[in-house]
């Protein structure tokens, strides 16, 4: 009998069709997220889940899905999945690394440039019909070229961001939990520095580390106070890395100059005070949102799913400890 799977968000037709040839598929094709109660009801007989980063997989969900074998995140981040609980129950968990690095780096630069050059504020001014002609001192932003870019977390996406900095003749500093090899540093033309120095010297600080309890509010009031008053903070990584309340206060008081944000705490219920600020560029978590990249993410998630359901080790297994405990 074909395995039963649940797809929580609308997939691409070219992904859904081959899935239906090999599985009994129940898919949410409405674009409206299921309520928690509805989600729990629908997983009861499922062996596989294809989910987004907005779907929470915790003990309650797992208890409601006694036949579940694999949970496949269509995302790189996986703080929505309780890996320990999955491992305890022999449920495999996977993600989609690698395929969205360049696209997310592009969006990071879009936010950086928009915040630096005050594009959201200027566009609102233009749309409101207030532009009466050239103004020598209006919307004066910050030069990106020859400035210092600080990168916190120099993984795949951080490295893609660093490569793009060459085109702006920037000095690139980074801080990482583990320092990269000298060969990699030379190839990227980056310099390893302490976290304190990164905060102190960066004209633009871009975050590219995964969320964890250890990284929660890694940028808070204390860290913002150490940054230059002309600095711009960019976060296209994960909500929760930044204390949003502290950031709003720093932007409002011009403790730092501006921010570009694609992610927020408690999204999609982000802090509405961001909307009252002119010096922030905002996006609704669209870092990987190109058709080619989102399709590649779904395809990799499906590859993980079908491998696990066939009794094979999925290529992007997050909890290898669960492999020997897996449900068969």
Question: Annotated catalytic sites, by residue?
Answer: 238, 267, 285
- How many C-beta atoms lie closer than 10 Å to residue 216's C-beta? 15
- Encode the chain in three state secondary structure: CCCEEEECCCCCHHHHHHHHHHCEEEECCCCCCCCHHHHHHHCCCCCEEEECCCCCECHHHHHCCCCCCEEEECCCCCCCECHHHHHHCCCEEECCCCCCHHHHHHHHHHHHHHHHCCHHHHHHHHHCCCCCCCCCCCCCCCCCCCCEEEEECCCHHHHHHHHHHHHHCCEEEEECCCCCCHHHHHHHCEEECCHHHHHHHCCEEEECCCCCHHHCCCECHHHHHHCCCCCEEEECCCCCCECHHHHHHHHHCCCCCEEEECCCCCCCCCCHHHHHCCCEEECCCCCCCCHHHHHHHHHHHHHHHHHHHCCCCCCCECCHHHHHHCCC
- R_g of the chain, CA atoms, integer Å: 22
| 277, 38 contact by CB (below 8 A) | no
């Amino acid at each position: 009998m074909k395995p039963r799977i649940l797809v929580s968000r609308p997939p691409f037709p070219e992904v859904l069709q081959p899935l239906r040839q090999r599985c009994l598929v129940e898919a949410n094709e409405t674009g409206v997220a299921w309520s928690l109660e509805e989600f729990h009801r629908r997983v009861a007989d499922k062996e596989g889940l294809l989910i987004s980063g907005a779907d929470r997989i915790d003990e309650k969900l797992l208890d409601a899905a006694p036949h579940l074998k694999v949970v496949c995140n269509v995302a790189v981040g996986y703080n929505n999945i309780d890996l320990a609980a999955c491992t305890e129950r022999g449920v495999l968990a996977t993600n989609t690394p690698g395929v969205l690095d360049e696209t997310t780096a592009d969006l990071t630069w879009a936010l950086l440039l928009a915040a630096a050059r005050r594009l959201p504020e200027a566009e609102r001014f233009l749309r409101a019909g207030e532009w009466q002609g050239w103004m020598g001192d209006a919307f004066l932003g910050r030069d990106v070229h020859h400035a210092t870019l600080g990168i916190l977390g120099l993984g795949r996406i951080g490295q893609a961001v660093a490569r793009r900095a060459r085109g702006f003749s920037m000095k690139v500093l980074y801080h990482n939990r583990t320092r990269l090899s000298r060969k990699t540093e030379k190839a990227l033309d980056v310099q390893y520095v302490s976290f304190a120095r990164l905060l102190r010297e960066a004209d633009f600080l871009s975050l590219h580390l995964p969320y964890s309890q250890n990284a929660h509010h890694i940028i808070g009031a204390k860290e913002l106070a150490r940054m230059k008053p002309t600095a711009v903070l960019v976060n296209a990584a994960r909500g929760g890395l930044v204390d949003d309340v502290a950031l709003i206060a720093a932007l409002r008081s011009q403790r730092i100059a501006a921010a570009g944000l694609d992610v927020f705490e408690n999204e999609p219920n982000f802090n509405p005070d961001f909307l009252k600020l002119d010096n922030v560029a905002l996006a609704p978590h669209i870092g990987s949102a190109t058709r080619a990249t989102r399709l590649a993410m779904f395809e990799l998630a499906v590859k993980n799913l079908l491998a696990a359901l066939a009794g094979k080790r999925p290529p992007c297994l997050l909890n290898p400890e669960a492999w020997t405990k897996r449900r068969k």
